[in-house]
Amino acid sequence: MSAPQHGQIVAPDGGSVRKLLRVTAPVDLAAIDPRSTPGLPPTEVTGERPKTWARDQVELVGGELGRQQEMLYAMATAASDRPARRVLLVLQAMDCGGKDGTIKRVAGAMNPLGLHIRSFGPPTPQELRHDFLWRIRRALPPPGYVGMFNRSHYEDVLIARVGSLVPEATWRARYDEINSFERELADGGVTLVKVMLHISYAEQGERLLERLTDPRKHWKYNPSDVDARAQWDDYQAAYAEALSRCGTDAAPWFVVPADRKWYRDWAVAHLLRETFDTLNLGYPPADFDVAHERDRLSVGGAGRSGPQMNSR
C-alpha cells in the first residue's frame, strides 16, 4: 500500500467491467470461460507480462479505493448524508475459488481501518435457532465502512440445496426472501457488489492437489471438499439459479472468470472502483466555525505558559 507506485490506472477495455461481467437471467455458467479475461487491455498496453502489469494495477486501484474509502467514512460522520452509505462486496465461489486470495490482494491494497471483513462458516447452534438472514444482519458493515463477505447468505441456497440441509420448499422460498432483504439494504444506503469467482473443475482439482502436496497448506484442506467436488454439476446448477433469481438492479451479480488469479484480483478491484464512482463521494463541509477554532488553537498554543512536560 505504501510502496512507491509508478504509472497510472488504465481503465478496462470497453470502459467498464461492471458492464462486461454483469449477469442476468437466464445465467449460463458453462458459456463463461473461467480462463478468459474480459476487459483486460491488449498486449500493447499490458506488455508481454499481463500478470505483472495487472498486479501493479491492483496496487494503484487499491490506492484510489483507499481515497474513496476515506470519503465514504467522512461522509458517514456528517448528519446530512442519511441514510449513511456503505459498500458491501459479497464473494461466493466453489472451494479453492480464490475468495481468501481476492480479499488478501484487493483488501490488502485498501485501508484496513475502513474495512469490515466477515467470513461465514457452517452455522453455529445459536445461528441455527434463528432465520438464515439473522447472522448476516449482525455482520453488516457500519455506516462509512466497506464490508466484504467471505461466503454469505447465498450458502443457504447453495450448500443448503445441494446437501439437502433443508426441505426444498424452504430453500425455494429463500430467493424471494433474499431479494426483499437486499432491496431493504439498498434502500438503507448499502451498495451491494455480488461476485461469483468462477473457476473450472480442472483448476479446482489442481488447487486441491496443491493443498495436499504442500504441508504448509494441509490446514486449508478438508476431506469434505472432495465430497462437494463430486457434486460439481449440482453446485453449478444451484449457482446458476441463485444468480438468475437474485441478480437485480438493486443488487446485481457479477461473474468473474477466476482460473487466472491475477485477472480475478484486477477485475474485482475495478468492480469496486467503478462502484465507488457511481456514489459521487466528496468530503463533508465543516460543522464548526473554522476561523474561530484556529483562534482557539493559537491561544492554546502560545497564550498559556505551556505544558510542563514535552515543552521542547
Minimum distance between the CB of residue 176 and its own copies, rounded to whole angstroms? 26
User: 267 to 286, contacts with its own copies by CB under 8 A?
Assistant: 283-286
Site string for its own copies, 184-223 (x = CB under 8 A): ----------------xxx--x--xx--x--xx-xxxx-x
Tell me how far apart the 2 most distant CA atoms of the chain are, in Å. 77
Instruction: Note whether 63 binds its own copies by CB under 8 A.
Output: no
User: 16 to 45, contacts with its own copies by CB under 8 A?
Assistant: 29-30, 33-34
Report which residue type is found at 283.
Y
Among 10, 115, 140, 166, binds its own copies (CB under 8 A): 115
Of 37 and 111, the one with the shorter C-beta distance to its own copies is 111
Of 130 and 296, the one with the shorter C-beta distance to its own copies is 296
Cα–Cα distance measured from residue 260 to residue 9, given in angstroms and rounded to the nearest whole number: 20
Residue 11, CB-side half-sphere exposure with 13 Å CA sphere: 9
Instruction: Note whether 110 binds its own copies by CB under 8 A.
Output: yes
Of 183 and 220, the one with the shorter C-beta distance to its own copies is 220
Which helix (H) or strand (E) segment is 136 a member of? helix 134-138
Among 7, 14, 112, 188, binds its own copies (CB under 8 A): 112
Among candidate residues 199, 193, 201, the one with its CA nearest the CA of residue 254 = 193
Report which residue type is found at 218.
H
Instruction: Note whether 9 binds its own copies by CB under 8 A.
Output: no
User: 76 to 95, contacts with its own copies by CB under 8 A?
Assistant: 77-78
Among candidate residues 119, 107, 11, 93, the one with its CA nearest the CA of residue 259 = 93
Instruction: Note whether 160 binds its own copies by CB under 8 A.
Output: no
Number of residues that bind its own copies (CB under 8 A): 71
User: 226 to 265, contacts with its own copies by CB under 8 A?
Assistant: 226, 229-230, 232-233, 236
First-last CA distance in the chain: 34
Contact 167, 119 (CB under 8 A): no
Q: Between helices 99-106 and 50-76, what is the axis angle to 10°? A: 70
42-50, 169-177, 247-255, 298-306 -> range binding its own copies (CB under 8 A): 298-306
2-10, 16-24, 42-50, 183-191 -> range binding its own copies (CB under 8 A): 2-10
Among 2, 80, 124, 280, binds its own copies (CB under 8 A): 2
Q: Any residues with CB less than 8 A from the CB of 120 and at least 6 apart, and which?
A: 135, 136, 139, 149, 150, 151, 152, 155
